[in-house]
Structure 1
């Protein structure tokens, strides 16, 4: 699906600058379209100068879901922060870091 055709949970005009620019990331439509919380996040080595290395998932995506590239998008990390401000304290973590949400809290634990 063309990303311009997605019905994002937060309209672009409502996105606020919450963090300094840190590049792009991958996030699933379960977060960006369906509005679920980030349940799992990890940081890979960046692919290039504009990739932060961060990947954000709700945690309930199946392998079939993830295998469909239409279910993922590339976004500014700041955009994902607007959906999930609870991730902000973890963004300085180095590549190789992974975190899972602790229950219904805004806290994450290292995985």
Structure 2
């Protein structure tokens, strides 16, 4: 059976430093394994001192998919920037922020953060 590392769209040794270190984040496999762009991102209060609070989804995950811990992984925020550099301008936003991609573009618009995500 192939290791999880072999399934990534970007090999770990191809990750470039695009932003200063800012900690970890969670992203779904729809981004890192299936290769979809970030469609929705939100920032909650960090879980610990290494957590940035950022959570990244493609936007097409069902609730059932999102509820499965095996569909998520912990990454450095910079890693997800390599998958989708369009997120970079929003990374300084405070906890409580949420952004949805404007379909067909590399732009995001601010959205209301769901209270379950806050």
Q: Same fold (TM over 0.5)?
A: yes
TM-score normalised per structure 2: 0.89
What stretches of structure 2 of length at least 5 have no aligned partner? 112-118
Match of 1:92 in 2: 92
Report how far residue 5 of structure 1 moved: 2.1
Q: Deviations over 1:67-100 (max 9, x none)?
A: 1111000000000000000000000000000000
Q: Tell me the distance in 1 between the aligned counterparts of 2:56 and 2:13.
A: 22
Match of 1:11 in 2: 11
What RMSD over aligned residues (CA atoms) do the two structures have, in Å? 0.8
Q: Deviations over 1:12-70 (max 9, x none)?
A: 01000000000000000000000001000000000111000000000000011111111
Instruction: Specify the SS of the correspondent of 2:66.
Output: helix
Moved over 4 A (4+): none
